[in-house]
Amino acid sequence: MCVSAGCPNRAHCFSQGEATFLLLGQGCSRNCLFCAMGEEAVTPVDATEPQRVAQTVASLELSYVVLTSVTRDDLPDGGAAHICQTAREIRAHAPHTRVEALLPDFGGCRRALFLAATGSFSIVGHNVEMVPSLYTRYRSGGGFQRSLSVLHALGEHGIPTKSGFMVGLGETQEEVLSLISTLSDTGISVLTAGQYLPGRRGGITPKRYVSPEEFEIYAAHAQECGIASVRMGPYVRSSLNAADCFREICK
C-alpha cells in the first residue's frame, strides 16, 4: 500500500518495522477524485491473500502492521470477513505483531462493522478524509454522516478508534476546527491530518498548501478536545508512526 498510494513516508515507516498492506486488489468500487488508486476494475477475492500477507509479515519481522483495503461495494460484507481473516492469520504467524485496521465505510453495513470491531485488531480506523462541505465534489459514493456512524459503531464495542483527514482542498480554517470537534465527539483516540498532494496523473490540484503553523493550530485544538494522540503536519498520513500513536493511547 505504501508504494501504491505514493506515500512520502514509506522509507521511514519501514525502517521502524512498520508497513501497511492493501487488501482486496487495486480496483475500487468508487472513484473519489483525491485518491491515488486510479480506476482499475475490481477483481475476484484472492482467498490465499490472508495467509500470504501473514507470511510476509512474519518473514520481515514487522512489529506493527496496518491492514487497509479499497472499497468493495460489490461484496456483501464489503470485504470485512477477508480483512479480519488476514488479521487472524497474522496473529497465528507473527503473534507479537500489533495489527491495526484502516477500514472503508462498508456502505454502513452493521454486520461488517461488527466483524471489524470484534476482529483481531489493536485499534480500528476510518478516515473521514475531508470536511463535510467537500464530499459532493470529491468523494464519490461516500457520505460524511455515514462515516461518523461508522466511527460511532466501531467505538460501541470498546475498541480504540482512529480517524484522519486532508487539508488543502478548499476548506476554511473554521470548517477544520469544527470537523475536529465533531470527530472528538465520536470518541476517537487518535486523529491525523496532512496536506493533500495529488497522487496520480489527472488528480485534483491542491487549492493551497497549509503552513506548519496552521497545522499547529489544528493540533492544539484536537488536544484541547481531549483526543489522546494527535499527528498533524504537511506530510502526515494516517499510518505514519501508527505504532507510536497506539503506545500513546495505552499509557
CA atoms of 117 and 161, how far apart (whole Å)? 9
Q: Please report, for residues 13, 19, 21, 68, 247, the alpha-carbon distance to residue 64 in angstroms, rounded to integers and kept in the order given.
A: 10, 7, 11, 13, 11
CA atoms of 56 and 201, how far apart (whole Å)? 30
Residues 166, 193 contacting (CB under 8 angstroms): yes
Cβ neighbourhood burial of 24 (10 Å; 0-12, 13-18, 19+): buried
The per-residue b/e assignment along 84-93, b for 16 or more CB within 10 angstroms, e otherwise, is bbbbebbbeb
Q: Binding-site residues for [4Fe-4S] cluster, please?
A: 2, 7, 13, 28, 32, 35, 239
C-alpha cell at 66: 496496518
Q: Binding-site residues, please?
A: 2, 7, 13, 28, 32, 35, 239
Side chain identity, residue 142: G
